[in-house]
Amino acid sequence: MPQPTDEEVVQAAAEAAEGLIFARFKQSRVTDFDVTVTFEDGVLDVDVYINAPDDAEDADAVAEEAAKTAQEAVDELFAAADEE
């Protein structure tokens, strides 16, 4: 299987991060969120911002976990390409 395109990498990372956010928070309780993903010259950069209620789980910790989950999704994407 050929290596994933930059667009596929960005899409996989963004979907993974968003999925984790909404696994932790009900969508109706998230006031705002932003997932920014870039992949240039083989370097992945993921930035996650979450604005959630004060009584919710720590939004900063969830944002950090979402970014890590995005990286793991990209690693899995490349691993799958290497296996084929």
Residue ranges per domain, the chain? 6-83
**Residue 1 pLDDT > 80:** no
**Residue 55 pLDDT > 90:** no
Task: Give pTM, 2 decimals.
Answer: 0.90
Q: What is the pLDDT of residue 57?
A: 67
Q: What is the pLDDT of residue 36?
A: 97
User: pLDDT digit string (tens) for 6-52?
Assistant: 999 999 999 999 999 999 988 888 989 999 999 999 999 999 999 98
| Homologous superfamily, domain 6-83 | MTH677-like (3.30.300.100)
Are 37 and 4 contacting, i.e. CB atoms less than 8 angstroms apart? no
Taking residues 47-72, what's their average pLDDT?
89
**Helices and strands, number each (H, E), in the chain:** 2, 2
